[in-house]
Amino acid sequence: MSDSPLATALTAENLQQASQQAQALRVELRKAVIGQDLVIDDVLTALIAGGHVLLEGVPGLGKTLLVRALARCFGGDFARIQFTPDLMPSDVTGHAVYDLQTEQFKLRKGPLFTHLLLADEINRAPAKTQAALLEAMQERQVTLEGEALPIGQPFMVLATQNPIEQEGTYPLPEAELDRFMLKVRMDYPDALQELDMVREVTRSSKADMLEVQPLRTVLHAEDVVRMQQIASDLPLDEQVLDYAVRLARATRSWPGLAIGAGPRASIALVRGARARALLRGGEFVTPDDIKGCALAVLRHRVRIAPELDIDGLEVDQVLQQLLDQIAAPRQ
């Protein structure tokens, strides 16, 4: 068990309460974001696991709405940064301002100091500004004028990028991609879901989006931290742990993959699986929990071989073959 002051003993009652809160969060989010149930589950997985998410999808699918709805549902602070080519690192982290009255410099914290940070179109900013996020994402702190300032918990970065429009963008380097626990792809909803969405949105007073005001606040920031603690203590069989490590290691020598995933992928698989187990109300982690988050954990950490890329194969197809062929432990 953790020695954290917010640590909660893993009892059946605490586990049930945390699981009910996670499921209530899911129900509320589905009211606002229609037709993206798998994406909602992936984002909640990252929230419970204490990770960050890279959301990829064409404009208009509700990426910003999802983040605003999530912040609304847990009463957390929410900040949005529109990444542009002229955005400076200090625009993200904050800077020192000279106060004429006191004749001293004062630190003005940037939008990074929040619970949920939406980094919109992250690949539109140059590498220096992208790197300003690195310390915050990894260390949960920001260094301003030589002073290390902690970021409150929970802290989650949800960065978006458009997969189609590449003109004027700066691809994220591997070191930064690896900081994102999950890369989630947001696709078009199916016909019935799109009908539901259009019906709801056209009832809304806003032009082309759903309201988040009617959503209930089902838990608070400290409840999320407690949920993360309970998830991290969920029992995990040694065979299931071994399965997660075998999957990550297999990517390093798998035919069709030029670059495999590092040890951070194994860690993300285990953390994600524990979060998924809590979200479904399970008392322990199963191999299916590992498999359920494997594509989102691995797709941005591997690189497809050039010859398969030319043939039109996608990284998800190669990873699916790997998941189908690596034997999962029998329960």
In this structure, the number of other CB atoms found within 10 A of the CB of residue 100 comes to: 6
- Unique residue bearing structure tokens 């200090």: 90
Residues of the chain with pLDDT under 70: 1-9, 164-168, 204-213, 331
Query: SS3 of 148, please?
Result: strand
- Unique residue bearing structure tokens 């980094």: 119
For residue 77, the Cα-to-chain-centroid distance in whole angstroms is 16
CATH topology of domain 234-331: Helicase, Ruva Protein; domain 3 (1.10.8)
Residue 257's alpha-carbon distances to 6, 40, 113, 182, 192, in angstroms, are: 42, 28, 38, 19, 37
Residue-wise DSSP of 242-288: HHHHHHHHHTTT-TTEEE---HHHHHHHHHHHHHHHHHTT-SS--HH
Query: SS3 of 202, please?
Result: coil
What per-residue confidence (pLDDT) applies to 6? 43
Range(s) within the chain of domains with CATH label 3.40.50.300: 12-232
- Encode burial over 300-315: b for 16+ CB neighbours within 10 A, e otherwise: bbbebbeebeeeeeeb
Q: Where are the extended beta strands (E) located within the chain?
A: 53-56, 78-82, 94-99, 104-109, 116-120, 141-144, 147-150, 156-161, 182-185, 257-259, 303-304
Range(s) within the chain of domains with CATH label 1.10.8.80: 234-331
Task: Report the amino acid identity of residue 95.
Answer: H
CATH topology of domain 12-232: Rossmann fold (3.40.50)
Q: What does the pLDDT look like over 102-145, one tens digit per residue?
A: 777 778 888 999 999 999 988 888 888 888 887 788 888 888 87
Tokens standing for residue 14:
């605490």
Sign of CA pseudo-dihedral 176, 180, 184, 186:
negative
What per-residue confidence (pLDDT) applies to 306? 86
Tokens standing for residue 51:
């990770």
- Among 289, 292, 268, 290, which Cα is nearest to 51's? 268
Judge residue 170's burial from the number of C-beta atoms within 10 Å of its C-beta, 0-12 exposed, 13-18 middle, 19 or more buried. middle
Provide CB contacts within 8 A for 265, sequence distance 6+: 248, 251, 297, 298, 301
What per-residue confidence (pLDDT) applies to 3? 42
In this structure, the number of other CB atoms found within 10 A of the CB of residue 246 comes to: 15
